[in-house]
Homo-oligomer: A and B are copies of this chain.
Amino acid sequence: MKRSSISDIAKRLGVSNTLVSMVLNGKAKENRISEETIKRVFEVAKELNYQPNQLARGLRTGKSKTIGLIVADISNPFFSRIGRKIEDEASKYGYHVIFCSSDENTQKTKTLINVLNERQVDGFIISPTAGSQQQIKELLDSDIPVVLIDRYFTELETNYIAIDNYTSSYKIVKSLIVQGYKRIGSLFFNTDMVHMKHRMNGYKDACKEAGIQLDERWIRNVDFENLEESIKKEMKALISPEIDCDSFFFPTGELAVKSLEGLAEDDIHIFNHTGISCFDDPEAFHFSPFPVITLTQPINEIGNKAIDIIMEEIESENEVDSPRKVILDSHILERRYESH
């Protein structure tokens, strides 16, 4: 069955394309088209199984009804869950989402922004990577709606949605300390993004304020490239007799999971009395035999807000007022699965 177009319907009925277009777009009433004609248009449209061509419509109207989502990695549960929420919310507005993974790579982010632009997306939701503020700035300058999620740039006046990373991280580490841990090792991504810095500062301050003398060797950096290897190396340092940490703070769930898995691969297993804590609430710890302090983020709210803001901007003709900066709450969770 070949695709039919508006003019197929028009020809069949001996009317103009204009009329058919108006009827199909619900503008029949305001143009006072006869009931009879309206009915016949719909009949023929159904009969020919008419489906509007969104490319054509988009070309004409300048709206693709598509939003571009760029995250570090869509297979990371944190992002895929946000992605799902965004998908659902966007669809309420008749929008669809193109998902892209940047792998925290600046060059890739640049390319992705470009190709999404070529596809005329009506807005961007981005979890930005270090070094990409120039790209983001160009987007802003071109007046296309942008919302950043999870991270943002302090130097850039943009919409963003995030949690209070400093406080969250402070709370997590504080909880560890309350439980009696005194030598808290940590792994950070080697990046300039402020969310990482904030998470690090929260960790440091929680230690300091508890009177814990921070040992610089407790703080290790890992690279995005060769992540697994890098993690293994640093974790082994942290548990070595010289450093001998009794607990860990991980600024992302991914780091936490990969760290413990990395050790397990080399048959190094965590002791039940080792303190583990991290951002996010990775599924991997839902049946953990050892206690883990996690931080649940308001995934649904992030997705919700992101679409709210982006839609507001897309649908408002006039220039955007001041950017919306949203900081959401996060919650500490103490996990431990007790099997018998």
Using CB atoms and an 8 Å cutoff, list the residues of chain A in contact with chain B. Answer: 1, 3, 51-56, 58-59, 64, 66, 73-75, 77, 80-81, 83-84, 87-88, 96-101, 114-115, 117-120, 138, 141-142, 257, 260-261, 264, 269-272, 282-290, 337-340
Contacts and interface: CB of A to CB of B under 8 A. Distances in A.
Contacts of A80: 74-75, 77, 80, 83
B337 A120 contact: no
Contacts of A98: 66, 96-98
A272 B339 contact: yes
Given A51-B118, A117-B51, A283-B284, A77 B77 contact: yes
A63 to B, nearest CB: 10
Given A80-B77, A286-B261, A338-B269, A51 B114 contact: yes
Given A269-B339, A271-B339, A284-B286, A74 B53 contact: no
A24 B119 CA distance: 17
7 contacts: A51-B114, A53-B59, A87-B101, A264-B337, A284-B286, A287-B288, A287-B289
* 3 closest A-B pairs by CB: A289-B289, A80-B80, A75-B84
Contacts of A74: 74, 80, 83-84, 87, 99
Interface hub of A3, A118, A264 (most chain B Cβ within 10 A):
A118
Contacts of A81: 75
A4 to B, nearest CB: 12
Given A75-B81, A81-B75, A87-B74, A55 B58 contact: yes
A299 to B, nearest CB: 9
A81 B83 CA distance: 13
Contacts of A271: 339-340
Nearest to A69: B99
Contact of A287 (B55, B75, B284): B284
Contacts of A269: 337-340
A45 to B, nearest CB: 13
A104 B118 CA distance: 33
A285 B249 CA distance: 21
A286 B257 contact: yes
Contacts of A337: 264, 269, 289
A175 B286 CA distance: 24
A74 B88 CA distance: 11
A158 to B, nearest CB: 18
Contact of A289 (B83, B84, B101, B339): B339
Given A101-B87, A141-B1, A287-B287, A55 B338 contact: no
A102 to B, nearest CB: 11
A81 B74 CA distance: 8
A59 B61 CA distance: 14
A258 to B, nearest CB: 10
A100 B96 CA distance: 8
A174 to B, nearest CB: 24
Nearest to A111: B91
A285 B282 contact: no
Contacts of A99: 74, 83, 87, 97, 99
A273 to B, nearest CB: 9
